[in-house]
C-alpha cells in the first residue's frame, strides 16, 4: 500500500534508503505524516496496526542507534523525568485576555474602538471562531523545532510545561513553512489546550474504576493535566489543541489575522475549522 506521503508505508522496506540513518529519517517523515493525518486533519490513511508497526520500527532503530535520536522525533514525545516543580518563564510577547461582548451594541462599540485604534478609513474585515473552553498556552519554535511551551499565567509570565505539551499529539514537534522557505528563527504560536469530550469521558471512567476522584469539567481537567509533574500522566489524558494566533515572529510577516490562520494551517498546525472571515461587522 502506498500512502499519500509517496513512500511504501506497509512493507516496512524502503526502496531508496541505503543506511540505517536514511531509514530512520524516512520513518520519521512517514510517522509524522500519518500523525498529522490522524491528529490534525482527522483523516487517517492507514490502520492503527499499520501505524504501530512503523512507529515500533522507528523506536527500535533509535534504541539500537541512540546517536540517531533527535529531539523532534515522534518517539520523543514522552520520556522526560518527572519534574519536582514548574519554573516560571517570560513570554516573548504578552498574552492578553479576551474582551467579553454579550449584545449587538457591545459588538458595535468594540468595532468602533478597533477602527479608532487603526486610525484608518480603509475597510475592516473581521475573523470569528468558537471560543474553546480550555487552557491558553504559548508554543515557542526555533528554526521550526518546538523548544518550549508555557501556560498563560498572568499574561507576562507563565509556567514552563514543555514536557507535558510534547505529549499532545496535535502539536507539531517540527513544522515547515508552506512555501518551502526556511522556518522563522523564532516563532511563538498561541493556542488553547482542551479536553475532547470523548477523551474526558474515558478519563473519568478510568478514575472512577480506580476509586479516585473524577474531574468536575473538561476545562479544569485540561488545566490540571498540563500541570502534572509526570508527563506520562499527561500523555494518558489525550489532550488536543486549536491554535489561533502568533505572538512574536522573527522573519515572518503576515498582514491579517486571516492570513495568520491560513499560514498556521498550511504549516501543519491545527486551526479551528469553524473560523470565518467577515467583510463587515454586520455579517458577524
Q: What is the pLDDT of residue 78?
A: 67
Name the band, by pLDDT with cuts 50, 70 and 90, for residue 17: very low
Task: Please name every residue paired with 160 in a beta bridge, in sequence order, or none if there are none.
Answer: 150
- The CA distance from 84 to 12, in Å, is 40
Residue whose cell numbers read 486571516: 258
Cα 2 to Cα 12, 20, 199, 224: the distances in Å are: 11, 21, 31, 41
Hey, where are the domains in the chain? 20-76, 88-93+130-283
> In the annotation, is 265 catalytic?
no
85 has pLDDT over 90 = no
| Ramachandran quadrant class, 211 (left: phi over 0; alpha: psi -120 to 50; beta: rest) | left
Q: Which of 131, 169, 212, 213 is catalytic?
A: 131
Q: Which residues pair with 242 in a beta bridge?
A: 192
Tell me: the pLDDT tens digits for 174-219?
Answer: 999 988 889 999 999 999 999 999 999 999 999 999 999 999 899 9
Separation CA 169–CA 101 (nearest Å): 33
- pLDDT for position 99: 80
Give the tens place of pLDDT for each residue, 27-60: 999 998 998 888 778 788 988 889 889 989 998 9
pLDDT of residue 84: 61
Going by pLDDT thresholds of 50, 70 and 90, the confidence category of residue 150 is: very high
Q: Would you say residue 18 has pLDDT above 70?
A: no
* Angstrom distance (rounded) from CA 40 to CA 241: 9
CATH of 88-93+130-283, one of 1.20.1560.10, 3.30.2080.10, 3.30.300.160, 3.30.470.30: 3.30.470.30
* This prediction's pTM: 0.78
Q: Domain 20-76's class?
A: mainly alpha
pLDDT single digits (tens) 116-145: 998 888 889 999 999 998 999 999 999 999
The predicted structure's pLDDT at residue 96: 86
Of 143, 122, 101, 136, the closest CA to residue 255 belongs to 122
- Interatomic CA distance for residues 213 and 152, integer angstroms: 26
How large is the C-alpha radius of gyration of the chain? 21
Amino acid at each position: 500500500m502506498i500512502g499519500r506521503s509517496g513512500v511504501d508505508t506497509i512493507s516496512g522496506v524502503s526502496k531508496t534508503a541505503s543506511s540505517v540513518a536514511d531509514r530512520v529519517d524516512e520513518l520519521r517523515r512517514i510517522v509524522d505524516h500519518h500523525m498529522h493525518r490522524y491528529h490534525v486533519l482527522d483523516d487517517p490513511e492507514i490502520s492503527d496496526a499499520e501505524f504501530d508497526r512503523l512507529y515500533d520500527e522507528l523506536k527500535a532503530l533509535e534504541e539500537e542507534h541512540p546517536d540517531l535520536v533527535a529531539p523532534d522525533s515522534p518517539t520523543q514525545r514522552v520520556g522526560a523525568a518527572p519534574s519536582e516543580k514548574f519554573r516560571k518563564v517570560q513570554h516573548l510577547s504578552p498574552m492578553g485576555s479576551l474582551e467579553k461582548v454579550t449584545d449587538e451594541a457591545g459588538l458595535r462599540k468594540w468595532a468602533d474602538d478597533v477602527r479608532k485604534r487603526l486610525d484608518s478609513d480603509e475597510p475592516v474585515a473581521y475573523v470569528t471562531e468558537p471560543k474553546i473552553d480550555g487552557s491558553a498556552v504559548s508554543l515557542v519554535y526555533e528554526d521550526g523545532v518546538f523548544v518550549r511551551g508555557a501556560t498563560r499565567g498572568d499574561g507576562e509570565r507563565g509556567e514552563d510545561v514543555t514536557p507535558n505539551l510534547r505529549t499532545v499529539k496535535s502539536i507539531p514537534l517540527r513544522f515547515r513553512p508552506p512555501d518551502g522557505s526556511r522556518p522563522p528563527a523564532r516563532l511563538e504560536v498561541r493556542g488553547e489546550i482542551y479536553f475532547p469530550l470523548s477523551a474526558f469521558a474515558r478519563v473519568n471512567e478510568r478514575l472512577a474504576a480506580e476509586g479516585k476522584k473524577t474531574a468536575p469539567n473538561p476545562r479544569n481537567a485540561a488545566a490540571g493535566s498540563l500541570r502534572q509533574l509526570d508527563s506520562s500522566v499527561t500523555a494518558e489524558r489525550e489532550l488536543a489543541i486549536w491554535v489561533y494566533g502568533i505572538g512574536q515572529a522573527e522573519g515572518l510577516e503576515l498582514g491579517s489575522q486571516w492570513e495568520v490562520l491560513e499560514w498556521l494551517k498550511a504549516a501543519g498546525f491545527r486551526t479551528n475549522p469553524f473560523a470565518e472571515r467577515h467583510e463587515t461587522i454586520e455579517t458577524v
